[in-house]
Amino acid sequence: MRTPILSLLLLTEFASPAPAQRNEPGRPPIIDVHVHVYAKDERWTRKAPNPVTGQPLTAITEEAHMQATLTEMKKYNVVKAVISNDYQAALRWKAAAPDRMLVSYAFDDPSSVDLDFLRREHAAGRLAALGELGLQYEGIAPNDPKMEPFWTLAEELDLPVGLHTALAPPRTPYQCCPKFRNWLGNPALLEDVLIRHPKLRVYLMHAGYPYLPETIAILHMYPQVYADLGAIDWAARGREEFHEYLRALMRAGFGKRLMFGSDQMVWPEAIGMAVEGIESASFLTDEQKRDIFYDNAVRFFRLDKK
């Protein structure tokens, strides 16, 4: 599976400030619906620094990455995380912290996935969601016929689905993914799927950025669709741009449908940076922040609020 989005536009000229380090007792709980796990990653080999802060990458093995991410989760009281990317690694994370992890199955190319395997994993109680679905990187639209069996399965099993929307790093079609096209990240392409599968629960990863009108239209028409704020809350285009996008979604009335996601990738400290991206939005009330950090995810994933 390719490197997940939003290494996106991770250019230092758009950098956001790093949050102050803290470990506040009594911090309210957070659910992170967009966390990545890896068995291996080429960024570990080249020790890729944090693209916003320039901080050196030190967690360069699966175990080190897991422990550093868990440390960050405990610091910010992230009580639950939806984890994906490498499925076997995700199961190992789940074994290490069973109460904190919800395992999701990620893929880009549907032809590489065994539907029967997904059904068995769900029946065994290991599989809680599908996603991140990076179809865009393979030149596949959400409404492509190749995806129909997966939408059918997700609706049948009541599996929530995280769909990659938005952009990717500059020059993506010239580098990793020649089939990638910007327009395939437009949330409007999901509409026919939602018509055919009215019970399907989907969340738009990266909140459809920068397709604001289309994202608003989908959220308006289909109340079963939510959105996460992963990566745009810490890495893409800077804090001011993120706040303007978030403000527009709030102004449109979708504060009960936005969920916190970090999309920390190989940089565990990005969890704290993403938290700060929400906390620094002065236009949000405390209640609205609680919705984004916790209550909306409880509702969408049908969790026990306790």
CATH code for the domain in which residue 261 is found: 3.20.20.140
Q: Distance between CA 100 and CA 31 in Å, rounded?
A: 9
What residues contact 215, with CB distance under 8 A and at least 6 apart? 165, 187, 204, 207, 208, 209, 227, 249
Q: Judge whether 250 lies within some domain.
A: yes
Within a domain: 2:
no
Residue 237: DSSP 8-state: S
Q: Which helix (H) or strand (E) holds 186?
A: none
5 part of a folded domain: no
22 in any annotated domain = no
Give the Cα separation of 242 and 231 in Å (integer): 10
Name the token pair of 79: 């009580």
**118 lies in a domain?**
yes
φ and ψ of 81, to 5 deg: -135, 140
Average of per-residue pLDDT across 60-70: 98
Residue 35 lies in a domain: yes
Range of the domain at 39: 29-301
E strands within 27-146?
30-37, 78-85, 101-107, 129-133
pLDDT of amino acid 187: 98
Give mean pLDDT, residues 246-251: 98
Tell me, yes or no, whether 280 lies in a domain: yes
Q: What is the average pLDDT value for the chain, to the nearest integer?
A: 92
pLDDT of residue 236: 77
In a domain, 10, yes or no: no
pTM: 0.92
When pLDDT is cut at 50, 70 and 90, the band that residue 24 belongs to is low
Query: CA angle at residue 147 from 257 to 34, to 5 degrees?
Result: 35
Instruction: Check residue 215 and report its DSSP letter.
Output: H
Structural domain tally of the chain?
A: 1
- The Cα–Cα gap between 78 and 63 comes to 19
For 16-37, the DSSP string reads PPPPPP---TTPPPEEEEEEEE
Please state the length of the chain: 306
Is residue 2 very low, low, confident or very high in pLDDT (cuts 50, 70, 90)?
low
Instruction: Please write the tens of the pLDDT for every residue from 175-192.
Output: 889 998 999 999 999 999
